[in-house]
Amino acid sequence: MTQELIDLKQSILEGRYHDALEIIDDLEEMSKQATLRKIEAFLVRLCIHLMKNQIEQRLTNSGIASISDSVIQIAKLNVKSNQKSYFIQADEWQEYLEEAIEIAIRPASVEIFEGSLKPSQVSQRLNREVLIDYTQNLLQLTYKYQPKTLPDMMDNYLAELPGGKDWFEQI
């Protein structure tokens, strides 16, 4: 990116505005791709903890913290700087989720039952449809609520997870 900024400055100084605009377009695309990669990383983290919950049939403090933080970070990253549009629209998550689930299987196998399952066993036990549907529901909250109010809004959804009612009743 440093080279692009040097080239941009040089293009402007030399009056090559068409070249400068092309460089600006490239920089915008690079920024968008970096943001999407960050969103995808939090989406994988979210899937890991939802997989763990689904297979272990329990909810832990660390699981709730990771799920909540992942959703909050996705909400923050997904909103463009104009605060009115999104990098990923509400109806565009399916492909991202399918990819995140496949990427998450291997690291999830380390987390689930203290690493006693192989990735292939996690994959076999996983109900992908339920995982995608549940994750979609959590992600939809990011279009309705600000990041600071998301934790309270997520509690109703988290209570519906396996072990969720027990966890929230203990509070």
Give the global pTM: 0.88
Q: Over the range 80-108, which residues count as b (16 or more CB within 10 Å of their CB) and which as e?
A: eeeeeeeebeeeebeebbeebbebbbebb
Proportion of the chain above pLDDT 70, given as a percent: 98
Arithmetic mean of pLDDT over the chain: 90
Question: Are 138 and 73 spatial neighbours (Cβ–Cβ below 8 Å)?
Answer: no
Per-residue pLDDT for 95 more than 90?
Answer: yes
Per-residue pLDDT for 19 more than 80?
Answer: no
Per-residue pLDDT for 143 more than 80?
Answer: yes
Confidence (pLDDT) at 25: 73
Range of lowest pLDDT (36-45, 77-86, 107-116): 77-86
Q: Indicate the domain borders of the chain.
A: 39-158
